[in-house]
Structure 1
């Protein structure tokens, strides 16, 4: 765990803030061939699963390329910027027409396409039952609350702070400060849990202790969140 300051021995963690993508919900299998086939059909674009799988591979290759990553900088500051950036990148990947582009974007932002890791719900529930205040702080361009609601833990969260709703994004310390304010807890007593050393690790600049998860992940395997239970007593 990274720490912003040397805390006194009696300091307590009163609240936990979690990142969303790659921390609580898996980000590696969101674009799924059967789901794309169904979404494309709603837009009157006939696709087979094999063709859909190829389209997904081409899309991911482009959006995760150095050029794609550069184009995505700042796209989480508003919903409009997110939609514009991602639909442009998706269209370029083919190039794909507007109907198929829209189907791909719908799949990307569909709460039902985001699946929690096996330990996400148990850990959130245990922390809630211990009386720990819980929040989510995410760089994201769409509303992720329905994903938590779908798995029955939205009511366990005291705060959900999304970059697209505030025009601020990690690693800006101001966004971490805002999230702590929403939790009603001093930053030094809020543990931040994430997976990005740069964006999530920046929480230390706002005075939060930080626990970083390893980059390797698999939706079928526990994410390692049980360690948080040992850190929060």
Structure 2
């Protein structure tokens, strides 16, 4: 569904922020069911049933083995994911033993699942947040450690029109918390660091990374489980994030 319309149009109070950057996974949306359950479902369709917890263990091991760059492929790029899936499902050591044809089928199925809008659920208030920030005249951007499929995911969820630009780590070849990705966002937005805020769910990748680049930062803690962290501003939902941003006056 498209972004909701404002119930009443009015002039927002001026904000000291001219741009807001948002993480995607764990901030605007989440996977349903969890990723390891999706991988386990695909394994079961190819005759390799196993519990999601065991699949998660295999996924973490493959992620650790591959690292940030593998054979020139940056993390979360399609070639990186092809090798990642092969290590989990393929005939190699520790793999589930699928032959070449079934491995290709499982890989295609997983790529399709993680590009489908049906795999993702927006957190409450996501569309309203984007609407309100756009109504306030803010530049909106995405900074996400994600595959090159991210723009298509946002399009499938009808969120793409909300953003002025989308930065995916796999496309840019740099990932959070590297300050270079935040600096690229500032360049795209055309604002200085002190006029921008980044919000995300990871204390190190999102908050520390943004602060290191000179931006303001907010931790989005949907579960409320993290509690207060020294020196970190925290909100427990996207409605609270919208209130915080729009209350920051010049």
Q: 1:34 to 1:169 in 2, by over 3 A?
A: closer
| Deviation of the 1:99 alpha carbon | 4.0
* Distance across 2 between alignment mates of 1:159 and 1:118: 23
Larger RCO, structures 1/2 (Cα 8 Å, 6+ apart): 1
SS of residue paired to 1:176: helix
How many residues are treated as equivalent by the alignment? 210
Q: 1:93 to 1:227 in 2, by over 3 A?
A: farther
| Deviation of the 1:122 alpha carbon | 1.5
Q: Is the 8 A contact 1:14 1:133 kept in 2?
A: yes
After TM superposition, the score normalised by the length of structure 1 is: 0.75
Point out the structure with max Rg over C-alpha: 2
| Deviation of the 1:148 alpha carbon | 1.9
* Distance across 1 between alignment mates of 2:88 and 2:137: 43
Contiguous gaps of at least 5 residues in structure 2: 1-13, 69-73, 225-234
After TM superposition, the score normalised by the length of structure 2 is: 0.70
1:94 aligned partner:
96
Residues 57-206 of structure 1 aligned to structure 2 (within 5 Å):
57-64=53-60, 67-74=61-68, 75-76=74-75, 78-91=77-90, 92-97=94-99, 98-99=103-104, 101-103=106-108, 105-112=110-117, 113-201=119-207, 202-206=209-213
1:3 aligned partner:
none
| Deviation of the 1:109 alpha carbon | 2.5
1:229 aligned partner:
242
Contiguous gaps of at least 5 residues in structure 1: 1-9
| Deviation of the 1:59 alpha carbon | 2.6
Q: Is the 8 A contact 1:109 1:142 kept in 2?
A: no
1:207 aligned partner:
214
Runs of 4+ in 1 over 3 A off after TM superposition: 30-37, 45-48, 51-58, 89-93
| Deviation of the 1:213 alpha carbon | 1.7
Q: Is the 8 A contact 2:85 2:107 kept in 1?
A: no
